[in-house]
């Protein structure tokens, strides 16, 4: 069968890498892809928001399955478009993807179906938002309602900082139209975990647990990013926490989406806060997390393609996923200045030396080919991902790989996985 993966980041490189291993697959395409996917698939010069061009390619090439990586084409309705032309596609419909496309919708859904989450308010008026902030006190969380590439969340340490963040968003200076409405939430403490499932809207297969590292600097300091690293399994997700996440968060949300006339098919990602044996939901994403996807797919023992196809066909009941006992750790290497303005075009050295390490794979995110060299072309550039018989072993191998790769101004966190070690 022929498979099209849509996207060009580290998540999509990981999906291409895993899908290409399937004995069912004869050819993989990736649109637009990157230099990493080019080694495994045929890259197509089509952007993720060029839905008509993507449809025309898939239709003409008789693509058997399309797998949508990023949130933007999902929110634009690519799944509905492809299905209306008889094409099989993995991902939620436009109405279902709204669970990520609008944080206000997501919070209202959680409230309606008794999914544990932080107290919140939704605002378009600056004065009303300020009054809520002053009533609630700081620290407090300010979120752009719409899609902001994982960066539309401000954890304000003072009320003044929160008011400034609201002003930036509502005025359109920060995140454009995504910030035209804001969600303001109480600040939750505890330890975060990423809880992902694959569902056809009725049947649910939980994926292995994972933990992301959002802040740019060690010790969770500095502004939030799209993610600076991840590991799996996450010891904070004990069997008891896993059960609570399924019973209190995932199942009521999947059933609630059906009741709302928005049946959810695809990957549902719940960002959880775990404290004192309880879980609260921070957010939902309508796709594989990035970088959580990289360690999760490294640990996935079974073929992913039958699972993706079963969701696209609407019946997941006969599928299951097997996992390696090993741990996996992904360290993101980023450009200088990220998550703010960053430079592009710096030549990357050491990729072959890192690739020579056993049980390590370098997933490309923001890279490009220039004059025969691989250069930086994004904020998050590479996801150096390693397996190990223990979390410690996986951390050591990943950082050994990181140590072999360099470019001018490279930055990365040195503490990815440290929280896991503290719990073991």
344-389: pLDDT as tens digits = 999 999 999 999 999 999 999 999 999 999 999 999 999 999 999 9
> Do 358 and 292 share a structural domain?
no
DSSP secondary structure code for residue 188 in this structure: P
Give me the percent of the chain exceeding a pLDDT of 90: 91
What's the pLDDT score for residue 313? 98
| Per-residue pLDDT at 130 | 93
Same domain, 200 and 309: yes
Rounded CA separation 384/402 (Å): 6
Residue-level pLDDT at 270: 98
Beta-carbon count within 10 A of 130 CB: 17
Query: pLDDT class for 312, splitting at 50, 70, 90?
Result: very high
What does the pLDDT average to over 51-71? Answer: 97
Task: Provide the CATH number for the domain around residue 291.
Answer: 3.30.470.20
- 195 & 279 share domain: yes
133-138-144 Cα angle (round to 5): 55
Asked if the structure places residue 105 within a domain, the reply is no
How confident is residue 146, by pLDDT bands cut at 50, 70 and 90?
confident
> Look-up: residue for tokens 């669970």?
99
379, 414: one domain: yes
Give the integer Cα–Cα distance in Å for 237 and 243.
Answer: 9
Q: Give the pLDDT of residue 145.
A: 86
Are the CB atoms for 390 and 373 separated by under 8 Å?
no
In a domain, 104, yes or no: no
Mean pLDDT over 239-249 rounds to 98
pLDDT at position 157 is: 94
Tokens standing for residue 125: 């008026």
Please state the rounded mean pLDDT for residues 116-136.
93
Strands 266-275 and 140-144: unpaired
12-43 tens-digit pLDDT: 999 999 999 999 999 999 999 999 999 999 99
Q: Which helix (H) or strand (E) holds 17?
A: helix 10-19
Percentage of the chain beyond pLDDT 70 is 98
Sign of CA dihedral 225, 231, 235, 237: positive
User: What value does the mean pLDDT take over residues 122-139?
Assistant: 92
Name which of 226, 231, 205, 208 is nearest 216 in CA terms.
226
**Please, are residues 272 and 192 in contact by the beta-carbon 8 Å criterion?**
yes
CA 321 – CA 60 distance, rounded (Å): 32
Work out the average pLDDT over 318-323.
Answer: 98
Average pLDDT rounded to a whole number, residues 93-117:
96
List the one residue out of 265, 266, 267, 273 whose CA is nearest residue 248. Answer: 273
Which residues constitute the domain of residue 14? 2-91
Q: What pLDDT sits at residue 174?
A: 67
**Residue 80 belongs to some domain of the structure:** yes
Does residue 111 lie within any of the structural domains? no
Nearest to 4 by CA among 53, 52, 43: 43
Query: Residue 404 is part of a domain; what is its CATH number?
Result: 3.90.600.10
**Phi-psi bin for 312: left (phi > 0), alpha (psi -120 to 50), beta?**
alpha
- Average pLDDT of the chain to the nearest whole number: 95
Give the CATH number, domain containing residue 160: 3.30.1490.20
Q: Roughly what angle, to the nearest 10 degrees, separates helices 159-170 and 126-136?
A: 160
Residues 81 and 11 in one domain: yes
Q: Is 90 exceeded by the pLDDT of residue 62?
A: yes
What's the structural domain count of the chain?
A: 4
Q: Do 149 and 250 reside in the same domain of the chain?
A: no
Enter the pTM of the model: 0.94
Q: Are residues 284 and 202 in the same domain?
A: yes
At residue 94, does pLDDT exceed 80? yes
Tokens of 274: 């775990």
For residues 218 and 222, give the distance between their C-alpha atoms in angstroms, rounded to a whole number.
9
Cα angle at 316 between 310 and 318, to 5 degrees? Answer: 100
Reported as a single tens digit per residue, the pLDDT across 163-179 is: 999 988 888 766 777 66
Give domain status of residue 260, yes or no: yes
State the sign of the Cα–Cα–Cα–Cα dihedral 394, 8, 18, 355.
negative
For 278-293, the pLDDT digits (tens) are 999 999 999 999 999 9
Are 231 and 156 in the same domain? no
Same domain for 173 and 215, yes or no, is: no
Residue 68 within any structural domain of the chain: yes
If asked whether residues 210 and 173 sit together in one domain, one would say no
- 379 and 334 in a single domain? The answer is yes
The stretch 218-222 carries a mean pLDDT of: 94
Degrees, nearest 5: CA angle 302-306-312:
140
Q: How far apart are CA 359 and CA 141, in angstroms?
A: 39
Q: Is 100 inside any structural domain?
A: no
Are 300 and 401 found together in one domain?
no
389: number of Cβ within 10 Å: 12
Instruction: Taking residues 217-243, report their average pLDDT.
Output: 95
Instruction: Label residue 369 left, alpha or beta by phi (over 0 means left) and psi (-120 to 50 means alpha).
Output: beta
Q: In the predicted model, is pLDDT for residue 148 greater than 80?
A: no
Assign residue 58 the CATH number of its domain: 3.40.50.20
| CA separation for the pair 40, 83 (Å, rounded) | 26
pLDDT score, position 149: 62
Query: How confident is the model at residue 172, as a pLDDT?
Result: 73
Residue 102 lies in a domain: no
Q: Which residue has the tokens 């794979």?
A: 361
- 135's CB contacts (< 8 A; 6+ apart) are none
| 124 three-class SS | coil
């Amino acid at each position: 069968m022929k498979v099209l993966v849509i996207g060009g980041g580290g998540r999509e490189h990981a999906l291409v890498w895993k899908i290409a291993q399937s004995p069912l697959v004869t050819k993989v395409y990736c649109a637009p892809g990157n230099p990493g996917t080019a080694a495994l698939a045929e890259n197509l010069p089509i952007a993720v928001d060029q839905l008509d061009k993507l449809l025309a390619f898939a239709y003409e090439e008789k693509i058997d399955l399309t797998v949508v990586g990023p949130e933007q084409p999902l929110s634009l309705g690519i799944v509905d478009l492809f299905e209306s032309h008889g094409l099989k596609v993995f991902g939620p419909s436009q109405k279902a993807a709204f669970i990520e496309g609008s944080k206000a919708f997501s919070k209202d859904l959680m409230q309606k179906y008794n999914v544990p989450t932080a107290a919140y308010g939704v605002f378009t008026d600056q004065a009303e938002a300020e009054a809520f902030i002053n009533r609630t006190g700081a620290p407090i969380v300010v979120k752009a309602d719409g899609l902001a590439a994982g960066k539309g969340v401000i954890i304000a340490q003072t009320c003044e900082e929160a008011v400034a963040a609201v002003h930036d968003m509502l005025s359109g200076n920060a995140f454009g139209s995504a910030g035209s409405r804001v969600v303001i939430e109480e600040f939750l403490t505890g330890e975060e975990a990423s809880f992902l499932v694959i569902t056809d809207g009725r049947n649910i297969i939980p994926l292995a647990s994972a933990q992301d590292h959002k802040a740019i600097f060690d010790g969770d300091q500095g502004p939030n990013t799209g993610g600076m690293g991840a590991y799996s399994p996450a010891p904070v997700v004990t069997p008891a926490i896993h059960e609570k996440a399924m019973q209190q968060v995932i199942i009521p949300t999947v059933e609630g989406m059906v009741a709302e006339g928005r049946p959810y098919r695809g990957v549902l990602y719940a960002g959880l806060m775990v404290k004192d044996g309880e879980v609260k939901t921070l957010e939902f994403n309508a796709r594989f997390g990035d970088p959580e996807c990289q360690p999760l797919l490294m640990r996935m023992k079974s073929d992913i393609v039958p699972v993706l196809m079963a969701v696209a066909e609407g019946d997941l009941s006969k599928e299951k996923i097997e996992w390696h006992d090993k741990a996996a750790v992904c360290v993101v290497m980023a450009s200088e200045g990220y998550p703010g303005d960053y430079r592009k075009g710096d030549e990357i050295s050491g990729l072959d030396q890192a690739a020579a390490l056993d049980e390590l794979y370098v997933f490309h995110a923001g890279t490009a080919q220039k004059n025969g060299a691989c250069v930086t072309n994004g904020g998050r550039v590479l996801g150096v991902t390693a397996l190990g018989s223990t979390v410690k072993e996986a951390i050591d191998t990943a950082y050994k790989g990181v140590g072999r790769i360099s470019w001018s101004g490279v930055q990365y966190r040195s503490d990815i996985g440290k929280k896991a070690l503290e719990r073991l």
